[in-house]
Amino acid sequence: MATETLTLGKALNAGLRRALENDPKVVIMGEDVGKLGGVFRITDGLQKDFGDQRVIDTPLAESGIIGTAVGLAIRGYRPVCEIQFDGFVYPAYDQIVSQVAKMHYRSRGKLNIPIVIRIPFGGGIGAVEHHSESPEAYFAHTAGLKVVSCASPQDAYVMIQQAIASEDPVVFLEPKRRYWEKGPVDLDAPLDGAYPLHSARVARTGTDVTVLAYGPMVRTCLDAATAAAEDGRQLEVIDLRSVSPLDLSSAYESVRRTGRCVVVHEAPGNLGLGAEIAARVTEECFYSLESPVLRVTGFDTPYPAARVEEEYLPDLDRVLDAVDRTFGW
Amino acid sequence: MGDPELVQLLTPEGDRIESAVGPDGTEYRVDFTDEEYRGLYRDLVLVRKLDAEATALQRQGELGLWASLLGQEAAQVGSGRALRTQDMAFPTYREHGVLYCRGIDPIMPLSLFRGVDQGGWDPNEFKFNMYTIVIGAQTLHATGYAMGVNIDGRTGSDDGEAVIAYFGDGATSQGDVNEAFVWAGVFNAPLVFFCQNNQYAISQPLEKQTRIPLYQRAAGFGFPGVRVDGNDVLASYAVTRTALDNARHGQGPSLIEAYTYRMGAHTTSDDPTRYRIASEVESWQAKDPIARMKAFLVKQQLADDTFFAEVDEQARREAVDLRERVLAMPDPEPVSMFDHVYPNGSPLLDQQRAQFSRYMESFEGSAH
Ligand SMILES: Cc1ncc(C[n+]2csc(CCOP(=O)(O)OP(=O)(O)O)c2C)c(N)n1
Ligand SMILES: [Mg+2]
């Protein structure tokens, strides 16, 4: 059994390596992904081992990265594109929304565009502007795209391979501030029969309040649950994993037991994922709810300067504050 | 007359070349007084020293990040000094030297890198746009600004206005930059595209962006292009002055490729030993922009040790002053993040601001 302790970043690297080994059609492309191994080293060593035809350093142009990936996909390849930071995906937005997302539909199913668009996303690393954004709602709002986010090294390792194997275009959001967090990874875990990519998973069981999160906020919510337990409150934390499509079956089941639900994400609240989730949970669990579904999110401002990001980002206290408020109704 | 592919007026050894001819036959020369030569040297030294101080501040945790201009001083001082008062500049995130030559307090961009704000200055007040981190975007802004100059009828004379857009070699691959070339050409915009080819876009060497010398791209868009020795402050000044003056006289855009080298890391987050070899850096060390200017001043007996010592002392004082003022920079009030999202506010934000304030107050007096 090859279970190793890896950081989330290294687990992604291992997953990419396995995908390159298992399928000669998989190619990695992006800015600085070769010799440098990407600015976060997620593709470290891959160009050395698989060559510059499989791990392609591209010119500095995001629209070019995604547009050429579409052509490669039409040609039968499975491009895995790295966008260097969340705030730099927008030059490619047209290609993603108008081309990547719609090709299968427009070809009446004759074309699949099995592209993975990896984006390190979210804040909390003290970066300058455009390096801390959470753009998931833009993509989740677009039919034809799938959007997922991993929260643990094991999930990072498996989900990146599942995303690459998927026939859909997948926007793969990597919680950049969790890249250095460690956890056990079963490197022999077979993909066949693995936990499905688009299914949510209960990350911690509890009886009093259901807390829903994905990506970087899963860790925050688990910490909040630990703190709440000291005060005698049991939070059930669900890692949604897939942002589009949403799998809320475990959330419904949980809310029917707890009667309370808090949704947490870094992205701004207005028209964010939390709005969709709150609406669906309310529709499904109306008679079980003891309070409205509450949201803990970033504010509806541009992502602020680093020295106030701590106040902008949902943290343990804000999650617990919302948990408290669900008991105030 | 030198290499027609590279306009140079000062050799790495510090010898003056009387004049140089660009690819379209334009002749470049400079006519500086002794005082002006010394002034350019002073600029170069000061700009390098302040940049080194900012790097040190980052290392000590006082800045979140710093994008050093080390090695690119001549391209920035030369082009920056070539600007006339009425000209407008659109920088990237590395143009600290241009900013300095515009007479702007060098503290201005440090709040962005400290994480205190996102720039926050008035581009019109300083005739210097905010730094732009999204690669290439500012070239379109510069083009639009220059179109406005045309519409205002502010070209066609010596006091006409010109605009300069800074960008890197990597940026030339972006759609935005190529669209800017198209637009500037079509609208005959009074604009100088100033590309600092420092040979790298983070880890990517120039050949990952282009098959031809960058200045030759201009031809395809229908305007002149020239490559200048970007480590030669005199030549950088001469070609920029000419291009700006052509633009202000209504002759439209041009592209300058300042051929230089990024001597340091891309930013303080970068480790260049992963992708380039020491001997390459050393070969560029021999072309250092400051060393050659100093050699020139010495050879021509335009300056003595007292002068050089005085410049170093001024640089030291300004660096100390910069450091002290960076350390004294206050952190923003958290609630200020809700300000200036819209000119006239928004009901949603008013509500969030109020909730946020109440929430923060709830911690007052507690252990948090
Ligand atoms: C649209 C966009 N994509 C990616 C980045 C990340 N990035 C920051 S600087 C840089 C390289 C820029 O190279 P170049 O244009 O040569 O300018 P230099 O940094 O060398 O001055 C990259 C890829 C960015 N800032 N914006
Ligand atoms: Mg460059």
Note the pLDDT tens digit of each residue in A158-172: 999 999 999 999 999
Counting beta carbons within 10 angstroms of the beta carbon of residue B139, is it exposed (0 to 12), middle (13 to 18) or buried (19 or more)?
buried
Shared domain for B355 and B292, answered yes or no, is: no
Contact (CB, 8 A) for A218 and A151: yes
Euclidean distance between CA atoms B244 and B93, whole angstroms: 22
> In this complex, is the C-beta atom of A305 within 8 Å of any C-beta atom belonging to chain B?
yes
Residues of B labelled as active-site residues:
262, 266, 275
Inform me whether the pLDDT recorded for B168 exceeds 60: yes
Shared domain for B317 and B350, answered yes or no, is: no
Strand ranges (E), A240-308: 242-244, 261-268, 294-298
Give the Å distances, CA to CA, from B148 to A244, B89, B121, B274: 44, 14, 21, 44
Is the alpha carbon torsion for A298, A240, A33, A3 positive or negative? Answer: positive
Q: What is the 8-class DSSP label of residue A127?
A: P
- CB within 8 A of A309, min separation 6: which ones? A123, A124, A126, A132, A303
pLDDT attached to residue B101: 97
Of A33, A30, A31, nearest to A44 (Cα)? A33
Domain count of the fold of chain B: 2
Shared domain for B166 and B117, answered yes or no, is: yes
Judge if the beta carbon of residue B327 lies within 6 A of ligand 1. no
Shared domain for B108 and B180, answered yes or no, is: yes
Topology at the third CATH level for domain A201-326: Rossmann fold (3.40.50)
Shared domain for B322 and B342, answered yes or no, is: no
- Two domains, one topology: A3-186 and A201-326: yes
Give the Å distances, CA to CA, from B15 to A78, B284, B299, B300: 56, 17, 8, 9
CA-nearest residue of chain B to A30? Answer: B204
Q: Do A306 and B64 touch (CB under 8 A)?
A: yes
Place of tokens 């000062």: B10
Strand ranges (E), A160-292: 170-175, 182-186, 201-204, 209-213, 235-239, 242-244, 261-268
Q: Do A308 and B348 touch (CB under 8 A)?
A: no
Shared domain for B345 and B242, answered yes or no, is: no
- CA within 13 Å, CB half, B345: 8
Inform me whether the pLDDT recorded for B1 exceeds 60: no
Res. A208 pLDDT band, cuts 50 70 90: very high
Shared domain for B295 and B361, answered yes or no, is: no
Structural domain includes residue B199: yes
Phi-psi region of A130 (alpha: psi -120 to 50; beta: other; left: phi over 0): left
- Domain residues for the domain of B51 are 20-327
pLDDT attached to residue B364: 86
Give the best residue of B275, B335, B346 to mutate against chain A (max A CB count within 10 A). Answer: B275
Of B239, B231, B226, B304, nearest to B263 (Cα)? B231
Inform me whether the pLDDT recorded for A103 exceeds 80: yes
Which CATH number fits the domain A3-186, given the four candidates 3.30.1360.200, 3.90.226.10, 2.40.50.140, 3.40.50.970? 3.40.50.970
| pTM of structure | 0.97
For strand A182-186 and strand A3-7, is the pairing parallel, antiparallel, or unpaired? antiparallel
Structural domain includes residue B118: yes
List the CATH number of the domain containing B51: 3.40.50.970
For strand A242-244 and strand A3-7, is the pairing parallel, antiparallel, or unpaired? unpaired
Q: Do A301 and B338 touch (CB under 8 A)?
A: yes
Residues of A labelled as active-site residues:
131
Euclidean distance between CA atoms B186 and B147, whole angstroms: 10
Q: Where are the domains of chain A?
A: 3-186, 201-326
pLDDT attached to residue A136: 98
Phi, psi of B139 (to 5 degrees): -65, -35
**pLDDT tens digits for range A33-57:** 999 999 999 999 999 999 999 999 9
- CB within 8 A of B168, min separation 6: which ones? B92, B94, B135, B195, B196, B197, B198, B201
pLDDT attached to residue A1: 61
> In this complex, is the C-beta atom of A127 within 8 Å of any C-beta atom belonging to chain B?
yes
Of A114, A124, A127, A115, nearest to A39 (Cα)? A127
Inform me whether the pLDDT recorded for B2 exceeds 60: no
Res. B78 pLDDT band, cuts 50 70 90: very high
Shared domain for B206 and B353, answered yes or no, is: no
Res. B365 pLDDT band, cuts 50 70 90: confident
Shared domain for B362 and B215, answered yes or no, is: no
**pLDDT tens digits for range B24-35:** 999 999 999 999
